[in-house]
Amino acid sequence: MKRPTLQQRIGPRALARSLAWLRICAIAGQSAAVLVCALWMKLDIPLLPLMVGIGLLAVFAVFAAWRLTQPWPIRQWETILHVAVDTLVLGYLLYFTGGASNPFITLLLMPIALSAAALPVGAVFMVAGLAGIAYLVLLFCYVPLPAPMHGTTPGGFSLHVVGMGVNFVITALLLGFFINRLARAVRLQQMEVQRVRERALRDEGILAIATQAAGAAHELNTPLSTMRTLLPELRREHAGDALLGEDLALLEGQVDRCRTILREMVAFGKAQLSQESELLTLTHFIHGCQERFQLLRPEADLQLTVDEEAKHIVLRTPPGLRHALLNLLNNAADASALNQSQVVALTVHRDGGWLELIVSDHGPGFTPTGELAVLGQSHKKTGLGIGLALAEATAERLEGELTTNNTENGAQMCLRLPLSVIATS
């Protein structure tokens, strides 16, 4: 599921959405108030003009609701236009019900309060100006309320005072509810900004490591070539020493392995720069990762499970996906080794429009916080502590997610990726 953007959480769209809900509440409340006053309390108020005004507001409410469903962004001027329509309709209704002497005149403050939480200062002044002009006009131009409005109820209170009490309750509830929603949107915005900042710092660290790795690969190629040349000569010179010959053969194999890793690093860098994806079936991709992992960790016992439904999916394999999976498998093997186990499990299955790669180990599990490793910080005694950070970065780049949780036998890491991004149609 996609996270809401900052523009959706706070700003003109958020304010327009709050105004839409407030408009619906206003239509219901105004209709009820007019009908109660005209039909139940028998007050002499202009019923037809008032119902026409409420009807116009209802028509605009339908239009505003439709506008919120459209994909194009809501501009600041458009939000101010919505506020202007609401203010004009409210002023029209107040004109026929006593103007500024109506206890509900303070409802003109509602759009100002909401705008102050979501719009710039200039826009707030514009909204406040509209409300102020409406109030000034209603001070002098209005249809007076009928005389019974200033009479008393059986409890001794005038209807005007009762109306002020009802208005206070309505204003308090509406302001509390909608301001709380906008304040929550501000908090979410701050959390999103913090998350983006942390991701930028992490990506900057990964880029620094990649730069150093490229330089190291270039510098290591020369000494490795020298060792690859000298080791066969040393083996020939000491052909009679069987024990030394075995050690030299092992060193020669390790040098070849280092050269292979360096070549893969260069090929991976070129693939990243070209952004070319490799078309592979999921079966071939997983088996390639399995072979590579068993070459790197021959002591590990990898238990592989692939759903039949997912086997024939054709992947547009991004260059970083294979390395992300190998990092997870390598971390799982290290975790299992902490509990004197060599078992690592990889489960691959399709969940609707998502592909899930689940790696399980038999290690001690994650810390109670359940947080992914921070770049450069590792809870293991060996390793650089960047495996999970790199895997998480790959997941986010592919619009997926990396989640972790503890199980009865150890820990589990789930790399969840959308098929719409990594698979062919």
pLDDT tens-place string over residues 322-333: 878 888 888 888
Structure confidence at residue 215 as a pLDDT band (50, 70, 90): low
Query: How much is the pLDDT for 136?
Result: 92
Position 325, amino acid: L
pLDDT at 205: 60
Q: What is the pLDDT of residue 299?
A: 85
Task: Supply the pLDDT for residue 62.
Answer: 92
Which of 55-59, 265-269, 293-297, 310-314 shows the lowest per-residue confidence on average (mean pLDDT)? Answer: 265-269
Which tops the pLDDT comparison, 54 or 162? 54
Residue 79 pLDDT greater than 60, yes or no: yes
pLDDT of 271 over the 70 cut: no
Residue 352 has pLDDT above 50, yes or no: yes
Contact 107, 131 (CB under 8 A): no
Band the pLDDT of 369: cuts 50, 70, 90: low
- Locate 137 and state its tokens: 């006009």
pLDDT for the residue 276: 58
- pLDDT(382) > 80: no
Confidence band (pLDDT; 50, 70, 90) for 208? low
Give the lowest-confidence range in 23-27, 125-129, 206-210, 419-423.
206-210
Contact predicate 59/105, CB 8 Å: no
User: With bands split at pLDDT 50, 70 and 90, how would you rate the model's confidence at 5?
Assistant: very low
The whole-number pLDDT of residue 155 equals 44
Contact 54, 34 (CB under 8 A): yes
- pLDDT bracket for residue 204 (50, 70, 90): low
Range with top average pLDDT, 217-231, 336-350, 358-372, 391-405? 336-350
- For the chain, what is the mean pLDDT? 77
Tell me what pLDDT residue 59 has.
92
**pTM of structure:** 0.47
In this prediction, residue 133 has a pLDDT band, given cuts at 50, 70 and 90, of very high
Task: Copy the structure tokens of residue 53.
Answer: 């005004």
Neighbouring-strand partners of residue 316: 279
pLDDT of amino acid 423: 81
